[in-house]
Amino acid sequence: MRSVQIAAWLVTALVLAGATPGERGTPEEARALLDRAVALVESEGAEKALAIFNDKKGPFVDRDLYVFCMGPEFKITAHVDPGMRGLDVATLKDPDGKQFGREMIEIALRGGGSIEYRWVNPVSKEVEPKISFLKPAGNQYCGVGAYK
């Protein structure tokens, strides 16, 4: 069963990879990617899933969409930018000074939800408005955001 699920995720990633350069991920696609990420953590375990999420060329990075996770101590365990891994989520602020990291922790502890803030888009390299969706996944809290 696990190999079938992994194969399905890889096929989805290959289909998504065919998107025209410059296209943006939508909030709906962000939610779908998050659902696939949560399913992977729950079926394969956090260690294996986090390694896959941290692979910039892997099936959980699609245009400007990527999975990020924080562990039970609220340190970043998965992010497309390796420099973000290990950071205390509570310290995160956007360029306007919004302490969105603390809000993310509150949302995670409530069982999930969404948050809006500004962040650097990995494709455009510009600071842009973003909405991120968060859900618990095993012993992790994972999210995916779409730039507006």
Q: Which CATH number characterizes residue 124's domain?
A: 3.30.450.20
Residue 20 has what pLDDT?
47
Domain of residue 84 covers 2-147
Residue 18 has what pLDDT?
39
Residue 22 has what pLDDT?
52
Average pLDDT by consecutive 10-residue portion of the chain (148 residues)? Answer: 40 39 86 98 98 97 97 97 97 96 96 97 94 97 97
Q: Which of 109, 56, 95 is nearest to 79 (CA)?
A: 56
Residue 142 has what pLDDT?
98
Q: Say how far apart CA 34 and CA 31 lie, in whole Å.
A: 5
Residue 23 has what pLDDT?
87
pTM, rounded to two decimals: 0.83
The domain total for the chain is 1
Q: Is 119 exposed, middle or buried (0-12, 13-18, 19+ CB in 10 A)?
A: middle
